[in-house]
Amino acid sequence: MDLGTVAWPPAPITTERLVLRESEARDRAALIELFASPEVGTYIGGARPRDELERAVPEIPGRRPGFFVIELDAAVIGVVTLDRRDPERLGRVLPQGGEAELGYLLLPSAWGHGYAAEAAAAALAWFARTVPGEPVVLTTQTANGSSMRVAAKLGFTEVSRFEQYGAEQWFGAWSPQALAAR
Ligand SMILES: CC(C)(COP(=O)(O)OP(=O)(O)OC[C@H]1O[C@@H](n2cnc3c(N)ncnc32)[C@H](O)[C@@H]1OP(=O)(O)O)[C@@H](O)C(=O)NCCC(=O)NCCS
């Protein structure tokens, strides 16, 4: 589910080291690389077979509001995404569900430099400007240490934990107000 009616795409967003922008046809190979990586897939349900991805990924992948490609020195290193959460899923902070949910995936060669936190903070700032006052949620396996650490660095706080897909899931929330009060 995408973010529906938000103004999209924004102008590319520049951080200290990175650029966040909408996806383009030239990103397809890097994104297939990302989704086919067994390391990337470890805590998110596994990698997808490369031949399946070659068939299924559209010419311009990830073309929806809230899907940002992350560039470092003009090369794609991953994605940061904001999507409407399926209200049927476990965990909620709005009475009707359907919260915006943050996701971040980087190619393993780019791990360990703080890029995920830097990119996700910029995506959250964009979201707070675009949809003022709305919370953002995040689900990650508690076993996914680096993802848990990124969530904490961004200011997400725990709402609940639950078992799903054979693993313990951490469900956290972020709001611009909570961040300002920290
Ligand atoms: C999760 C992910 C995006 C993190 O990217 P990253 O750029 O390496 O993250 P950062 O460098 O911003 O931060 C990583 C932090 O986790 C810490 N960390 C790394 N491995 C860890 C582990 N096993 N346990 C606890 N903390 C760990 C690092 O020390 C760092 O913390 P610090 O900044 O306080 O030193 C990346 O590992 C990834 O793409 N993983 C696969 C996809 C995925 O699981 N995404 C999350 C889906 S919810």
> How many angstroms separate the CA atoms of 115 and 111, rounded?
7
Residue 179: is its pLDDT beyond 80? no
Q: How far is ligand 1, taken at its centre, from the CA of residue 150, in Å?
A: 6
Q: How far is ligand 1, taken at its centre, from the CA of residue 95, in Å?
A: 31
Tell me what pLDDT residue 3 has. 87
Nearest residue by C-alpha to atom 2 in ligand 1: 147
CA angle (61 as vertex; 55, 62 as ends), nearest 5:
130
Q: How far is ligand 1, taken at its centre, from the CA of residue 7, in Å?
A: 30
pLDDT above 90 as % of the chain: 90
Residue 5: is its pLDDT beyond 70? yes
Return the domain boundaries, the chain: 3-181
Q: Which fold has domain 3-181?
A: Aminopeptidase (3.40.630)
Tell me what pLDDT residue 178 has. 63
Which residues line the pocket of ligand 1, CB cutoff 6 A? 40, 43-44, 103-106, 111-117, 140, 144-147, 149-150
Mean local confidence (pLDDT), 79-97: 93
Nearest residue by C-alpha to atom 21 in ligand 1: 146
Q: How far is ligand 1, taken at its centre, from the CA of residue 96, in Å?
A: 31
What pLDDT, in 10s, does the model give residues 127-151?
Answer: 999 999 899 999 999 999 999 999 9
Nearest residue by C-alpha to atom 23 in ligand 1: 145
What's the Cα-to-Cα distance from 23 to each of 30, 60, 87, 175, rounded to whole Å?
Answer: 11, 7, 26, 26
Q: Which two tokens stand for residue 166?
A: 């054979």
Q: How far is ligand 1, taken at its centre, from the CA of residue 55, in Å?
A: 30
pLDDT band at 114 (very low <50, low <70, confident <90, very high): very high
Task: From 84, 88, 86, select the one nearest 100 (Cα to Cα).
Answer: 84
What's the Cα-to-Cα distance from 49 to each of 26, 53, 60, 64, rounded to whole Å?
Answer: 21, 6, 19, 23
Beta bridge partners of 33: none
pLDDT above 70 as % of the chain: 96
Nearest residue by C-alpha to atom 22 in ligand 1: 145
Residue 111: is its pLDDT beyond 90? yes
Tell me what pLDDT residue 180 has. 58
* Strand extents, DSSP E, 22-90: 67-72, 75-84
Tell me what pLDDT residue 107 has. 98
- Of 69, 83, 146, best ligand 1 pocket probe by most atoms within 8 Å of the beta carbon: 146
Atom index in ligand 1 nearest the CA of residue 111 equals 8
